[in-house]
Amino acid sequence: MIEDWLANAYGGLSRREFLARVGVAGIGLAGFAIAATPVAGQVITTSDAGLKIDTGKVASGDFQIPVYTAHPSAPGKYPVVIVIPEIFGMHEHIKDVTRRFARAGFFSITFEPYAREGGVLNLPDIDAVRKVVDPVPDARVMGDLDSITAWAGKHPAARADRLGVTGFCRGGMYTLLYAARNRDVKAAVAWYGQLRPVKTPGVRTVGPLDLAADINSPVLGLYGGEDLGIPVADVKAMEAALKAAGRTAEFVIYPGAPHAFFADYRPSYRPEAAKDAWGRCLAWFNRYLKT
């Protein structure tokens, strides 16, 4: 079983064809196209009009983590949504998603999980990306999320008592791990995050299925029925485990959708599934963070 989106994120292209098209676009595999190109799906660009956008750094231990925040420019305090990136880090698509949450009335923040390694946006291929990303311990990411959560809670535009977390691919797995770690999380939305990840000493000792009983917040899971890296049986097992523990959980499986069906800059993008999933995601956060 392949761990991340790699199994079918090429959207029907061979690996060679996919890389060739990326090469024509003049970009690295990790960065991808941030404009409409043959490799893109239907790239969405969210305006920052009416939003307050900031970039900065948050201290986590002895390191300063790059962050990107967005919230409505109108005065007020807004529920917090932390957006955890894919293995490609804080690239333009992730920033755009952060702006989408802000436009929906949230204080949204994303970050660069791999800044200590110099980031991965300019690496030439997925093998190079994974050499950087795979050795990063889950515990370090969880610690960074603690720091980001604490920082966001003190922001004058944020409601510290209304914390949500969401993430994509590996970020979806981190979403579930963090919901199990932080009891202040009031709602979680996991987009096709691994549920039985490979465990490696010093990097990962548990996966979301191991920690289902530790999650207290309502969880929405959004998964593709044709995700070759995440069996539907695992998705159903996670939902069942959460419900058995008395948790509120809803896991939606989109028939025919591959991994990364929400990534509008990839061939894996499926507009209908993405639109429905986004609506469910916003409804979930509106229900549990705004009331």
Number of residues that make up the chain = 291
- Pick the catalytic residue from 71, 91, 93, 259: 259
Does the annotation mark 281 as catalytic? Answer: no
In Å, how far are 44, 50, 68, 83, 221 from 191, measured between CA atoms?
18, 27, 20, 11, 6
- Pick the catalytic residue from 4, 138, 144, 227: 227
Strand-pair category, 51-60 with 63-72: antiparallel
Does the annotation mark 169 as catalytic? Answer: yes
If you write DSSP's letter for every residue of 72-141 in order, what string do you get? ESSSS-EEEEEEE--TT-S-HHHHHHHHHHHHTT-EEEEE-TTGGGT-STT-SSHHHHHHHHTTS-HHHH
- Pick the catalytic residue from 169, 234, 264, 281: 169
Nearest to 167 by CA among 98, 252, 228: 98
The C-alpha atoms of residue 231 and residue 270 are separated, in whole angstroms, by 19
Does the annotation mark 214 as catalytic? Answer: no
243 three-state secondary structure: helix
φ and ψ at residue 58, rounded to 5 degrees: -120, 130
So which residues are the catalytic ones? 169, 227, 259
